[in-house]
Amino acid sequence: MIVVKIFGGLGNQLFCYAAAKALAVKTGRPLYLDLYSGFKKDFYRRAPAIQQFNIHYQTAAWWQQFQFLGGIQAVTALRKLARTQHWLHPYYYFERDYTRFDEHFFDHRATRFIYLDGYWQCERYFQDIAPLIRQEFEMVTQHDTENKEWAAKIKGVNAVALHARRLHGVPNQKNAQPKPGVRSLSLDYYQNAMAEISERVTNPHFFCFSDYPEWFEKNLKTDFNITFVSHNQYGADRSHEDFWLMSQCRHFITSNSTFSWWAAWLSRHENKIVFAPDLSFWESQDIIPRGWLTRTAS
């Protein structure tokens, strides 16, 4: 069996699952998700959201979870031990270099179980089963009337999704605001990408999404058709609705966020144009798929 720790925001949860699913398919072993350990002490107060997709898995029992026998301290000790004790790798495999694709990820021989601990932020982990991942990452949660109406608007135009992540290092709480001095994508990045897309796309209509939508509305001045989408930001957590709406767009200007990365990747529109910030803004240096366009973002 394969037990994978699901953690992080929605985008990272999808990366965790996609890599584990690819390994499960390759080895023929059942896949179990630990939906508890990664969120017990989450700084951003996040919760598992991956269940809103058409994924197929079994839930790890309490005794199969990462925090069994001592909690996070035991996991930390195990990770340190695995750095030098290679005999542990067939049973506990953690991401030793999160900046690069792990060439040995699929080298696991058949064992009784293996624990996967990492983000695995690279398309190469699951590119061989990309059609299956696209099928399983179709959202099964029912959308409310308001968001269905927004989706109809998006599908009626040459929609371009813009995404800005501004709340780096800020806990998920009411009236959260960006920290001063935190490095974020520049306004020039968005404006230059919008100008490039306008040269390639007839009558583009830009839809702006953000965890801090006030920034877009205050700073993004343009003569292009533009709509600020903020109705999902308040009240109950409906970030999955923003994710779904973004994925309905035809083209993308992503931020340095796996949230918009997946929305762009899952879009089924042919000939889509995707702009992404240069690799200096990403932790993984293998995260940009072939065909995407990178631009300076500082």
Query: Is 117 within 8 Å of 95 (Cβ atoms)?
Result: yes
DSSP string for residues in 196-248? HHHHHSSSEEEEEEESSHHHHHHH---SSEEEE--TTSSSS--HHHHHHHHHT
Please check whether the domain covering 145-295 is classified as CATH 3.30.420: no
Q: Does the predicted TM-score (pTM) go above 0.85?
A: yes
Per-residue pLDDT, 161: 98
Query: Is 140 within 8 Å of 54 (Cβ atoms)?
Result: yes
Enter the tokens of residue 128.
């061989």
Q: Where are the domains of the chain?
A: 2-136, 145-295
What is the mean pLDDT of each successive set of 10 residues along the chain, which is 298 residues long?
Answer: 93 97 94 90 89 92 66 56 60 87 85 86 98 97 95 97 91 78 90 96 97 92 94 78 97 97 96 96 96 94
> Which candidate, 4, 33, 13, places its Cα nearest to that of 108?
4
Residue 62 DSSP label: G
Rounded to 5 degrees, φ, ψ at 227 are: -135, 130
Task: State the residue for tokens 């999160």.
Answer: 98
